[in-house]
Amino acid sequence: LEILGEEFGIEVTVRDALEDVNYVDDYLEEDSDESTFVTRPPVVTIMGHVDHGKTSLLDKIRSTKVAKGEAGGITQHISSYTVEKNGQKITFVDTPGHAAFSAMRTRGTAITDIIIIVVASDDGVKPQTEEVISHAKASGCPIIIAMNKIDKETANIDMVKAQMAEKGMTPMDWGGNTEFIGVSAKTGEGIEELLENILIQAELLELKADPHAKAKAAVIESSLEKGRGPVATVIVQNGTLRIGDNIVCDTTFGRVKAITDDNGNAVKELGLSETGTVLGLNDVPITGSVMVAMDTDKEARDIATTRAEHARAKELSKSTKVSLEEMSGLIAEGKIKQLPVIIKTDVGGSLEAIKGSLEKIANDEVKVKIIHSAVGGITESDIVLAGASEGCIILGFNVRPTGSIKAKAKADGIEINTYTIIYDLIDDVKDALSGMMSAVIREENTGQAEVRDTFVVPKVGTVAGCLVTDGKVIRGGHARIIRDGIITYTGKISSLKRFKDDAKEVANGYECGIMFDRFNDIKVGDFIETFIQIEEKVSVDK
């Protein structure tokens, strides 16, 4: 359009379609009177390798047990709560995974002030700990290391410190600047010290916000609940969120009908850094979106509907563009394959985590194509949608198809896989991808022989008189001739003889005569390496 405009002498101005409805930026730009600012409680995220005690620690801090009901021991969705220490509040957030945490941050929703990395002192730094370190470092937040399970006899604090120091997290007492605190989620040891440390870090951060402002909150979890409608779990970032507030939340809007605090009690409002669930939105907002209170109901509605329309248009244009790109890619490479999937989950956090993981497991040859993903049960329309894409499977997480939908899926030949553990889902998809990948040829070495003599048979070729020095030489197998360490020939063994007779194979220590397919330039002292080719399916790295 710009080029065309220039041709016709018409000025083209590029305008962001969301410019008028960028409610988050507008919120920030609004003048605020700093005199009404107060210190707000810190928001702390706990991350760590699976089984290192993240959930137990969160539970111990809160002194309620939820770990028992957790499927597979993995924290499936974000939970959050506020505790008090020395009269000061701290809000804790449990993440469904560090990938989801970073995804949220990428979307600009930085909810965390301080990060705690849990490392089991009997197990030390694990691959996921390393990942967490990079995510935490990237966030720029202060990091505290909680060395958990110090009650265990096998706990080795120095090992943890040394391993962490290697990853650039040097303990204070070793001259670094990272606080390491030994804790036990079992006995409660060290937890007071941990909380005190959080408060010290918070003080340094000078976290301030205005309790009198219109509310701004981050959605850390969302779901559709029977009888309650869309539910959003939020952390208030500024202002106070009250019942009756007109709210906009990306493409959704509404009026706050009810608020439940972190203990499940109905409350009238949520203050700075406080967390709870909000009822009243017209639809399920995406995790990581920002909720802002508006002056009027109309304002909230207009912004959300415009944003929703824009999102829909973008989605539509994206789908044609992507498929075109894919088409050209397919033509160019002639081998791109994809696994179309529809993902349905119970809550938004899991959806983001699953989508993030699935996008990552693609390699050059195969990839997952997410046709549709949403929070909620598997519906008839999902089956219809799956039927429209060849080979599409439906992945349900903590959701199950009911009778008639199950029957329809069966009738339409649509595969529905349901899971309660994220890792199982990911593994299954990886396997599915492996199954789809074209077979690769793997080589297996069978043996080695040394050329001791050569004989020229007229009209036939040169025979290499060999001694098998390793493994065995197999007729019909492949061979490489190595001369002075360099491969001079790769091809097939055309004839293998023991004395005058054809042999199927000749083992280590025996002499034999070998001829090669269309190759006669054999010299005494050459090495012959023999191998066979095995076809096998590729699997995506787990």
Q: Which stretch binds ligand GDP (CB under 6 A): 184-192, 203-211, 371-379, 398-406?
A: 184-192
Residue 135 CB, nearest distance to ligand GDP (Å)?
15
Residue 65 CB, nearest distance to ligand GDP (Å)?
10
Q: Are 241 and 256 in contact (CB under 8 A)?
A: yes
Residue 424 CB, nearest distance to ligand GDP (Å)?
16
The beta-strand segments (E) located in 78-148 are 80-85, 88-94, 114-120, 143-148
User: Which residue in 111, 125, 185, 395 binds ligand GDP (CB under 6 A)?
Assistant: 185
Q: Which is nearer to ligand GDP, 133 or 463 (CB)?
A: 133
**β pairing state of 252-261 and 461-474:** unpaired
Residue 207, helix vs strand vs coil:
coil
Q: Are 97 and 353 in contact (CB under 8 A)?
A: yes
What percent of the chain is helix, strand and coil (3-state, nearest 5)? 30, 35, 30
Residue 183 CB, nearest distance to ligand GDP (Å)?
7
Show contacts with ligand GDP in window 200-219 (CB under 6 A).
none
Q: Does 149 contact ligand GDP by CB under 6 A? A: yes
Spatial distance between the Cα atoms of 479 and 519, rounded to a whole number of angstroms: 11
Spatial distance between the Cα atoms of 160 and 52, rounded to a whole number of angstroms: 12
Residue 403 CB, nearest distance to ligand GDP (Å)?
35
Helix (H) or strand (E) holding 217: strand 216-225
Spatial distance between the Cα atoms of 290 and 306, rounded to a whole number of angstroms: 16
| Alpha helix stretches (DSSP H) within 108-237 | 127-139, 157-166, 191-205
Q: Which is nearer to ligand GDP, 151 or 511 (CB)?
A: 151
User: Of 239, 275, 279, which is closest to residue 255 (Cα–Cα)?
Assistant: 279
| Residue 176, both tokens | 């670094």
Q: Which stretch binds ligand GDP (CB under 6 A): 83-91, 106-114, 178-186, 469-477?
A: 178-186
246, β-bridge pairs: 255, 294
Q: Which is nearer to ligand GDP, 117 or 278 (CB)?
A: 117
User: Which residue in 107, 126, 137, 186 binds ligand GDP (CB under 6 A)?
Assistant: 186
Q: Which is nearer to ligand GDP, 51 or 299 (CB)?
A: 51
Residue 57 CB, nearest distance to ligand GDP (Å)?
6
Pattern of binders to ligand GDP over 22-61, x per CB under 6 A? --------------------------x-xxxxxxx-----
Instruction: Return the C-alpha torsion angle 42, 45, 51, 52, nearest 10.
Output: -60
Q: Which stretch binds ligand GDP (CB under 6 A): 132-140, 146-154, 306-314, 361-369?
A: 146-154
Spatial distance between the Cα atoms of 96 and 87, rounded to a whole number of angstroms: 29
Q: Which is nearer to ligand GDP, 75 or 246 (CB)?
A: 75
Handedness of CA 7, 12, 14, 17 (dihedral sign): negative
Q: Are 118 and 46 in contact (CB under 8 A)?
A: yes
Show contacts with ligand GDP in window 298-337 (CB under 6 A).
none
Residue 335, helix vs strand vs coil:
coil
Spatial distance between the Cα atoms of 112 and 115, rounded to a whole number of angstroms: 7
Q: Are 303 and 294 in contact (CB under 8 A)?
A: yes
Q: Which stretch binds ligand GDP (CB under 6 A): 12-20, 181-189, 300-308, 493-501?
A: 181-189
Pattern of binders to ligand GDP over 62-81, x per CB under 6 A? -----x-----x-x------
CA–centroid distance for 44 within its chain? 21
Spatial distance between the Cα atoms of 286 and 79, rounded to a whole number of angstroms: 16
Residue 150 CB, nearest distance to ligand GDP (Å)?
7
Q: What CA–CA distances, in Å, run from 122 to 14, 60, 61, 302, 429? A: 58, 19, 21, 55, 33
Residue 122 CB, nearest distance to ligand GDP (Å)?
8
Q: Which is nearer to ligand GDP, 185 or 366 (CB)?
A: 185
Residue 221 CB, nearest distance to ligand GDP (Å)?
17
Site size with ligand GDP, rule: CB under 6 A: 18
Q: Which is nearer to ligand GDP, 161 or 472 (CB)?
A: 161
Residue 475 CB, nearest distance to ligand GDP (Å)?
56
Q: Which stretch binds ligand GDP (CB under 6 A): 4-12, 103-111, 145-153, 269-277?
A: 145-153
Q: Which is nearer to ligand GDP, 188 or 329 (CB)?
A: 188
261, β-bridge pairs: 276
Q: Does 152 contact ligand GDP by CB under 6 A? A: yes
Q: Which stretch binds ligand GDP (CB under 6 A): 6-14, 78-86, 182-190, 381-389?
A: 182-190
Cβ atoms within 10 Å of 404's Cβ, excluding its own:
9
Q: Does 228 contact ligand GDP by CB under 6 A? A: no
Q: Which residues bind ligand GDP (CB under 6 A)?
A: 48, 50-56, 67, 73, 75, 148-149, 151-152, 184-186
